[in-house]
Amino acid sequence: MPRIALENVTVTRGGKRILHGFSLEIRDGEYFALVGETGAGKTTILNLINGLLAPDEGRITIAGRDVTRSPAEARDVGMVFENYALFPHYNVYKNVAYSHRVRDRDVTETRKAAREILSLVLIPNRDGALPKELSGGMQQRVALARALMCESGILLFDDPFSALDAGLRMSLRIELKNLARELGTTVVHCTNDVEEAMMVCDRLAVIRDGRIAQLGTSDEVYYRPSDLYVASFISDVNLFKCSVTRVDEEQGLYILTHKRGNEEETREFRVIAQEGAPVFNEGNDVLLCVRAEHFYINHGFRKKPNRVHGVIDEISFLGHLIRYEVKDEYGKRYRIQRFVNAKTRYLRFQKGETVTLGFHYKLGLLFACPREEELARFENV
């Protein structure tokens, strides 16, 4: 039985449809991430689960119990708000103990539980401090502790790290994940940062305009994106509009031709499509999509399948990554991302250098050619 289920939920606000026939099941004890752009409807989903929002249509169940019409205070689902929403007039302890106090739990038990949770989230003894006296990271921990006091075993995070410095974010993510696992809590975590989602989640759903674009493990979403949107949302992609010249049925290999502008010159790609990709036949138009990090980069100029050539136009150093932008003779730009560590640090390319880019035939993603409007979002296909 799923821990949380949304069945055919529709939400309309101010004449605008935010969710339409939305269904989602979250398993017991899993860490589930909702990822999507600002305004995709992620927070609405959280508010449906915690009861701050009632759907116009559809059913919501928690642990099999229909809670569609039950108010927030009856659901006991802990939530960490984007800006924490710590009660400014209560000190740390009173904030954390709030959910027990409003239920008039035994005072000593409440104290014990709060103590335990405060030490779990590593808050040093600052019971008497008011929220405004704490640093951002500390406030975040207090908000977490407060949410953990809810006893339903469900935690919702609404972009919990957005107010924190990048460095702090990284260490808190891992901490959060371990904590949830230790306690066996079911977590739904909203964010607009794919890296963050993948780092914490067991499964994730990519939300687009109030619908699930794809749902799966990080691995599935990364290697087998359901469509171009998901593929490009997760990391930078390079697109090639091709036609299928031949299909090698035995190996499942597609041989593709990419036309270069008005020129006669063509380029050949050999690709085994990702699992779950549609089947293409000879003569079909397809869109080949190569992730920036799946291109390798080499000196020189070698003409072979799955290779493109160009001149390095821009380099940006990101510590453990280097991004190159390569421009070919037709002005088409390619984005390449290279992992750098002590072993590969010395292999560097200079601006203006002619290079060959290539990718492994198992790493190309194939999609049916989308409509022009959809493609227009990407530069030079």
Partner 1 sequence: MPKIELLHVSKTFDEGKVVANDDVTLSIEDGAFVFLLGPSGCGKTTLLKLISGLETPTSGTILVGGIDLSKLNPEERSIGFVFQHFEIFPAMTVFENVAYGLVVRGYDDETIEKIAEEALRLVSLEGRMLAYPKELSTPELQKVGLARAIATRSKILFLDEPLGKLDPKIRKVFRHELRRLIKSLGLTAIQVTHDQEEAMAIGDQIIVMRQGKILQHGKPEDLYYRPGSIFVANFFGETNFLEGFVSGVGPDSCVFHLHLGGPKFEIKLQHGHQLKNHVQAIIGYRIEDVELIQTKQEEREPGEELDLEEKPRLNTVKGRVREAIFIGPMKRFIIDLENGDEIQAKHSSKFLIDIREGDEILVGFHENPMVFEYPKDIRAELSKA
Partner 2 sequence: MEAPTTDPPARSELSRQDIKPPRLGLQLRLEKYFSKDKFRIALDTGTIGFFLFLIIGPLVSLVGTVIFSWNGIYTSVFDDPITGNVQWQIMGTVLGRSFEIAAIATGIDLVIGLPMAFILTRYEFRGKKLLDTLVDLPMAVPTSALGFSLYLFWGSNMGISGLFGLEQGFLSPGPILITFTHVAFTYPFIVRNLKVIFQEQSKLYEDAAKTLGAPGFTVFRTVTAPLAKEGIIAGTILAFTRSLGETGATIIVAGIFETAPMYVVALKDSLNFPSAAFLSMILILVSLVALMFLRIFSRRIGFPVSKVVPKVERALSTRPVRVARNSIGMVLFIIIVLIPAMYTIPYVIEWFAVNPFTGSTNNTVLESLFAPDNKWAWLWVSTGNSLAIAGISTGICLLFGLPMAMILVKRKWGKMKELLDALIDVPLIAPTAALGFAMYLFWGPFGLNVFQPGFWLIIMVHVAMCFPYIVRPIIAIIEKTDPELESAARTLGASSLTTFRTITLPKMKPGIIAGMIMSFTRSMGETGATIVVSGLIRTVPLLIVDWVETRDLAAAGFASVLLIAFSFIVLLLLRKTMEHS
Residues that bind partner 2 (CB under 8 A): 50-52, 71-79, 81, 83, 85-89, 98-99, 101-104, 146-147, 149-150, 331
89 or 343: whose CB is closer to partner 1?
Answer: 343
Using the rule CB under 8 A, give the single segment among 105-113, 240-248, 272-280, 341-349 that binds partner 1: 341-349
Starting at the edge strand found earlier in the chain, the sheet holding 365-368 runs 266-272, 253-259, 237-248, 285-291, 365-368
Q: Is 374 a binder of partner 1 (CB under 8 A)?
A: no
Which token pair is 364? 């190309």
| Other beta carbons less than 10 A from residue 296's beta carbon | 13
Q: Is 146 a binder of partner 1 (CB under 8 A)?
A: no
Rounded Cα–Cα distance for residues 57 and 67 (Å): 13
Phi, psi (deg, nearest 5) at residue 5? -135, 135
Tell which positions 152-191 bind partner 1, by CB under 8 A: 165-168, 170-171, 174
Which does residue 150 bind out of partner 2, partner 1, none, counting CB within 5 to 8 angstroms by kind? partner 2
CB of 185 to partner 1, least distance (A): 17
Exactly one of 7, 82, 151, 293 binds partner 1 (CB under 8 A); which one?
293
Q: Is 303 a binder of partner 1 (CB under 8 A)?
A: no
33 or 244: whose CB is closer to partner 1?
Answer: 33
- Furthest CA-CA distance within the chain: 82
Which does residue 293 bind out of partner 2, partner 1, none, counting CB within 5 to 8 angstroms by kind? partner 1
Using the rule CB under 8 A, give the single segment among 2-10, 247-255, 274-282, 312-320 that binds partner 1: 312-320
CB of 265 to partner 2, least distance (A): 22
Q: Is 266 a binder of partner 1 (CB under 8 A)?
A: no
Site for partner 1, rule CB under 8 A: 37-38, 135-137, 165-168, 170-171, 174, 192-195, 198-199, 217-219, 222, 233-236, 291, 293-294, 296, 298, 314, 316-320, 323, 325, 337, 339-344, 346-347, 358, 360, 363
